[in-house]
Amino acid sequence: MPTDIEIARAATLRPIAAVAERLGVPDAALIPYGRAIAKIDAGFLKTLETRPDGKLVLVTAISPTPAGEGKTTTTVGLGDALNRIGERAAICLREPSLGPCFGQKGGAAGGGYAQVVPMEQINLHFTGDFHAIGAAHNLLAAMIDNQLYWGGGAGLDGRRVVWRRVLDVNDRALREIVCSLGGVANGYPREAGFDITVASEVMAVFCLSRDLADLEARLSRMVVGRRSDRSPVTAADIKAAGAMTVLLKDALQPNLVQTLEGSPALVHGGPFANIAHGCNSVIATRAALKLSDWVVTEAGFGADLGAEKFLDIKCRVAGLDPCAAVLVATVRALKMHGGVARDALGAENLEALRKGLANLDRHVANLKKFGLPILVALNAFASDTVAEQELVVAHCRHTLGVEAHVCRHFAQGGAGAEGLARGLVELVAGGAKTRPYTPLYPDDMPLWDKLKTIATSIYGAADLMADKKIRDQFRELDAAGYRNLPVCVAKTQYSFSTDPELRGAPSGHLVPVREVRLSAGAGFVVAICGEIMTMPGLPRTPAAETIRVENGQVEGLF
């Protein structure tokens, strides 16, 4: 089978105006970025507000493993399949970050014959949105240090600055730095650091804003540090929000591309789910809901992270009500959760598969707590045996009470997911969803209790573990008026616990809370649990070593 980039390069792309026409977007509302990419004008989007919404479908997954699950691939394949069976569907995805593209993944636009294209541009600079977010974030950082240098009126205490800088590559050497070295002319030396751009609060604000005015209001509320009396200093106090909004104005308009089969896809925003809230922009999702009958979107990593944050943060903030969830699994990944080493996954092992199903079981149980109807998409691999696939399908039907569909969209495109698409339409038409989805916790619950609810109800933990300083910070945030905010957990994506090596469905563990950060602009509180890094490092052999230009074409993205 050809590589992903070979498949993408061989595709005949439709003019972007023809893709937009499928959504009813006129040519005048497009801002072209070449022949196959465009932004949709914000003024046109405002005219859609009175239209009814289509049906929103969340694609999520079991806990990821090195064997791969194919969540983005399934999102694309399902969208194509819905269009193939006569429905009117659009896809909403996050933009890839350069960090994982040049680090471990090598690309994030789907795979095989279920991709969004043009794959190279989407994986690299695309329309410059991430660069705009990084520039806006770092402009604020520069203005903070300028305030300290000139003794500005905000009264910011240089010892209490919490605003770090960002960069959209994995660079562990910049996690902790000392800035302003070199003498009086360079300012006051202080400890600082870098996060990856997708972990920036500006990214979260960008993805949760409804429009330009909401964006500026949220940017204004971001807390960047404290005065000597511990009172908060915001971006508004630094007088940076207006200039930041200018940098983000064009980026805020959603990006329109297409799948290999010509289905419309909005690719916009991109926070990670292990260190942020893991969902594409509210603006893109709401636009797609107004322009199509079905919207298929994904949330990052496993359902314990991406789906929980999608439902407890994005849907709560944006007033969204998904009609169903599709949980992606593979025989290979389930066998890894059952203890099989990666190099032994090609051999049939029903015993390990049965053991690994515990991970699938917990994710299904968790999604049911939100009141969502569920389908399982069993993403097929050539190494799967019929007995293995039948075991998973039977277990889902008879033990979990949900239908599982073996999907082959990676090799067959939308045709390989038609069974899943028909099953989804039947599930929704049959009235499986009888009430609006239910968030995991109420708004007025104390922040510590919200975090504990996530840990015990979703992760299977016995309790939280934190020192007095951390617990006091939670109480202070409650008292300061932030009690009604949701909690965004930053933890490893590889396990329900905070130990990435603990696969399956561990129970009774403790979740260590290492740090708490207020994201007042985004509208949530971040709890950093375990050893998760907000600036990832490159692996021993990064994908960047094999990405190159050869005969004028990009090679190595996959």
Distance, in Å, from the CA atom of 92 to the CA atom of 79, rounded to the nearest integer, reads: 9
Distance, in Å, from the CA atom of 135 to the CA atom of 116, rounded to the nearest integer, reads: 27
Strand positions, DSSP E, 491-546: 510-519, 524-529
CB contact set of 310 (below 8 Å; sequence gap of 6+): 58, 60, 277, 278, 279, 299
DSSP 14: P
Distance, in Å, from the CA atom of 87 to the CA atom of 81, rounded to the nearest integer, reads: 9
Which CATH number does the domain 4-128+251-429 belong to among 3.30.300.30, 1.10.510.10, 3.40.50.2020, 3.40.50.300? Answer: 3.40.50.300
Tokens standing for residue 114 = 């279920």
The number of CA neighbours under 13 Å toward the Cβ of 330 is 25
Three-class SS state of 529: strand
Q: Do domains 134-240 and 447-529 have the same CATH topology?
A: no
Nearest to 120 by CA among 281, 263, 7, 32: 7
Cα distances (Å, whole numbers) of residue 557 to 9, 413, 444, 462, 549: 12, 20, 46, 42, 11
pLDDT at 106: 63
CATH of domain 447-529: 3.10.410.10
pLDDT at 59: 98
Residue that the structure tokens 């403790």 belong to: 510
For the chain, domain boundaries = 4-128+251-429, 134-240, 447-529
User: Using alpha carbons only, what angle is made at residue 295 by residues 291 and 301, rounded to the nearest 5 degrees?
Assistant: 140
Residue 257, strand partner residues:
265
Q: Are 335 and 384 in contact (CB under 8 A)?
A: no
The dihedral built from the CA positions of residue 168, 174, 176 and 178, taken in this order, carries a sign that is negative
The letter for the amino acid at 264 is P
pTM attached to this predicted model: 0.95
DSSP-assigned states of every residue in 180-219: S-SSGGG---EEE-EEEGGGSHHHHHHHH-SSHHHHHHHH
- pLDDT, averaged per 10 consecutive residues of the chain (558 residues), comes to 88 96 97 96 96 97 90 97 98 94 80 95 95 98 96 92 96 96 94 96 98 98 96 97 98 98 97 92 98 96 96 96 97 96 95 98 97 97 96 98 97 98 97 90 97 98 97 97 96 95 95 96 96 91 90 83
Tokens standing for residue 87 = 């429905």
pLDDT at 434: 85
pLDDT at 105: 66
pLDDT at 558: 72
pLDDT at 3: 87
Which CATH superfamily groups domain 134-240? Domain 2, N(10)-formyltetrahydrofolate synthetase (3.30.1510.10)
